[in-house]
Amino acid sequence: MKYIALLYGEPDAGPTPGTPEFMEMLAGFESATQAMAEAGILVDSGPLLPPQAATTIRVRNGETLLSDGPFAEIKEQLGGYYVLDCEDLDTALRYAAMIPSARYGSVEVRPLMVMGPH
């Protein structure tokens, strides 16, 4: 089954860029990603630009409306994701716990819905 791990954190949470602690956190991401790849469960992963880089689209009464920024004002921001193909939720949770975001924010793990044959 495929799971998505959504990485959330507050904008100023975690180590400051350029510090040894920040470099250690980056190494933690690299280590977690490598472990998932070696286990054969990593489908995709990536960081996201800040919410200010987003464009939100709404279609109302046939009209496409665009607005700059995220859909909603929230304290924690979505900063990245991993898509994992695991035998069960426990395995997905075990690997998601390796992601540094779990220490500085949170990681939401959710099964992906299967739509049609795959």
The type of residue at 39 is: A
Domain annotation covers residue 116 = no
Q: pTM higher than 0.75 for the full model?
A: yes
CB 5 within 8 A of CB 109: yes
What is the mean predicted confidence (pLDDT) over 62-70? Answer: 87
Query: Residue 89 is part of a domain; what is its CATH number?
Result: 3.30.70.1060
The type of residue at 48 is: L
Sign of CA dihedral 102, 94, 49, 52: negative
The pLDDT, as a whole number, for residue 84 is 98
The pLDDT, as a whole number, for residue 71 is 65
Domain annotation covers residue 96 = yes
Q: How many domains does the chain have?
A: 1
Domain annotation covers residue 118 = no
Digit-coded pLDDT (tens) for 10-61: 888 889 999 999 999 999 999 999 999 999 999 999 999 988 888 888 899 9
The answer, yes or no, to whether residue 73 has pLDDT greater than 70, is: no
The answer, yes or no, to whether residue 118 has pLDDT greater than 70, is: no
The answer, yes or no, to whether residue 70 has pLDDT greater than 90, is: no
Range of the domain at 59: 2-111
Q: How many Cα atoms occupy the beta-carbon half-sphere of 49 within 13 Å?
A: 6
Domain annotation covers residue 33 = yes
